[in-house]
């Protein structure tokens, strides 16, 4: 089975083309929507990682660096 992977440089997109009655039921139509969701997830993960956040046991955590 083939897998979709997040893009190397994803962007966050808040709009997605709606499926309509006339939308072809071809897998490529589903894949492009799933790709957008994967890219959004990867973008958010990258932003979270850059800010020092992590997820531990399903909880969002922040790491502070001590300044002496």
pLDDT band at 58 (very low <50, low <70, confident <90, very high): confident
Contact 52, 62 (CB under 8 A): yes
pLDDT of residue 42: 93
Number of neighbouring beta carbons within 10 Å of residue 7: 13
Angstrom distances, CA of residue 49 to CA of 24, 32, 38: 38, 26, 16
User: Average pLDDT over the chain, rounded to whole?
Assistant: 88
Whole-number Å distance between alpha carbons of 42 and 12:
9
Number of residues that this document lists for the chain: 68
pLDDT of residue 22: 92
**End-to-end CA, the chain:** 52
Q: Is the pLDDT of residue 7 over 80?
A: yes
């Amino acid at each position: 089975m083939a897998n979709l992977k997040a893009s190397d440089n994803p962007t966050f997109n808040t709009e997605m083309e709606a499926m309509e009655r006339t939308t072809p039921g071809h897998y490529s139509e589903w894949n492009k929507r799933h790709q957008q969701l994967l890219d959004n997830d990867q973008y958010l993960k990258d932003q979270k990682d850059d800010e020092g956040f992590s997820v531990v046991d399903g909880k969002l955590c922040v790491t502070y660096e001590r300044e002496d």
